[in-house]
Amino acid sequence: EEIQIIANGTLEYTEDKWNNLGSAKIETLGWDELTDEQQSDAVDLGFYKKTWDCFHSHYRSYDWNELSTSQQDIFRLLGWSESKWPNNETPSSYEKQWDQLSTTEQSVANAVCYFEHNWDRSDLKEEEIAISSGSNPMNPTQGFDASDISDVLNGRKNSANTSKRFTTCFIALSALVCMAFM
């Protein structure tokens, strides 16, 4: 119940918006665009700058030149370009369902906190989400080595292993927060 109060407060979540990933206006804002009170409430829900900007806005609140080189490479593999980015010209890959994405597209999407449930905009209330033991849901990058994405991009590593590690962390986070909210 305390989580509902926080979520309904400055973050302006309704139950419907909470359960339908990407539907709340606040999810388009980057951490630095949140008020101090919204940041405090987000922290109370277990988020901080890195997790908010990745899981909520997927770095879309950043200017292209604010993205790291590896983030730019990731977004290029998803179909973005420096010219498309500021104009919100959504690449065709975003029209696909998760299972229609290539393994490489899924892996790079994972690196910017897209996973099957939020890519497909699944209703979390209707989803059966299993929590994987051994992951730390409050640290979605636990066990992540940034060189993994570089290796995937350069064909030196199997992207399936990288994808699984990201997915496990996100699903654990979604399930814990979502179960507490319902």
* pTM of the shown model: 0.66
Which amino acid, one-letter code, is at 105? E
Plot region of 88 (φ>0 → left; ψ -120 to 50 → alpha; else → beta) = left
Residue 58 CA: distances (Å) to CA of 21, 62, 114: 12, 9, 8
Structure tokens at 179: 């179960």
66 DSSP assignment: G
Interior angle at CA 49, CA 157 and CA 36, nearest 5:
170
pLDDT by residue (tens digit) across 27-85?
Answer: 889 999 999 999 999 999 889 999 999 988 899 999 999 999 999 999 999 999 999 99
